[in-house]
């Protein structure tokens, strides 16, 4: 149940590939019972990070933005914990998240857009914030600009008790 403290704090991630690698190295360290809450605007890299995490954990892909299903379970290919990938964007409250009856104890759970809701699920979790230093929420950026490699700031913290 631990991410190496060396990963905590703020770092700049220059490319989408580096974001996947960060996810991979964190995924290698996770165990059943770990809950990660990813926060950041559209295109910040939450799903890119989760794709790497899934590889590091050794689960079956593909990992996609789960926008049209609230939660998708990726079984392990290597006898480790499955990954439950949740998009809480359209959920109204932590109570609705809790209603999904996710098997937290036996899974690694990643919740995109889950900040403010995780409290309902667990006493402690990993809070991961992704920011785009240029082009913040509400700015007019087209899709091609979103896809082009540009730095993101990632801040990882232990939250809860």
Residues at the interface with ligand ATP (CB under 6 A)? 13-16, 19, 40, 42-48, 65, 112, 146-147, 149-152
Q: Which of residues 66-125 bind Mg ion (CB under 5 A)?
A: none
User: Minimum CB separation from ligand ATP for residue 7, in Å?
Assistant: 16
Is the Cβ of residue 31 or residue 139 nearer to ligand ATP in the bound state? 139
User: Minimum CB separation from ligand ATP for residue 105, in Å?
Assistant: 26
- The kind and range of the H/E element at 20 are helix 16-27
Q: What dihedral do alpha carbons 137, 143, 147, 148 form, nearest 10°? A: -90
Contact 86, 98 (CB under 8 A): no
What is the number of other CB atoms lying within 10 angstroms of the CB of residue 109? 31
If one asks whether residue 65 binds Mg ion (CB under 5 A), the answer comes out as yes
CA pair distance 21, 74, nearest whole angstrom:
19
Sole window of 3-11, 17-25, 40-48, 88-96 interacting with Mg ion (rule: CB under 5 A)? 40-48
Judged by beta carbon distances under 5 to 8 A according to partner kind, the member of Mg ion, ligand ATP, none in contact with residue 52 is none
Tokens at 123, concatenated: 């006493």
CA pair distance 49, 153, nearest whole angstrom:
12
Sole window of 11-19, 43-51, 93-101, 114-122 interacting with Mg ion (rule: CB under 5 A)? 43-51
The residue ranges that bind Mg ion (CB under 5 A) are 46-47, 65
């Amino acid at each position: 149940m631990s991410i190496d403290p060396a990963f905590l704090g703020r770092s700049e991630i220059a490319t989408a590939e580096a974001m996947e690698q960060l996810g991979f190295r964190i995924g290698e360290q996770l165990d059943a019972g770990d809950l990660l809450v990813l926060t950041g605007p559209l295109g910040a890299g939450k799903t890119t990070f989760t794709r790497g995490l899934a590889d590091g954990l050794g689960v079956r892909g593909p990992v996609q933005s789960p926008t049209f299903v609230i939660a998708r379970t990726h079984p392990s290919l290597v006898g480790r914990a499955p990954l439950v990938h949740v998009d809480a964007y359209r959920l109204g409250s932590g109570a609705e998240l809790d209603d999904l009856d996710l098997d937290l104890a036996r899974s690694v759970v990643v919740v995109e857009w889950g900040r403010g809701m995780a409290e309902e699920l667990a006493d402690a979790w990993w809070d991961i914030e992704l920011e785009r230093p240029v082009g913040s929420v509400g700015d007019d950026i087209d899709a091609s600009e979103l896809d082009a490699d540009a730095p993101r700031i990632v801040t990882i913290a232990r939250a809860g008790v």
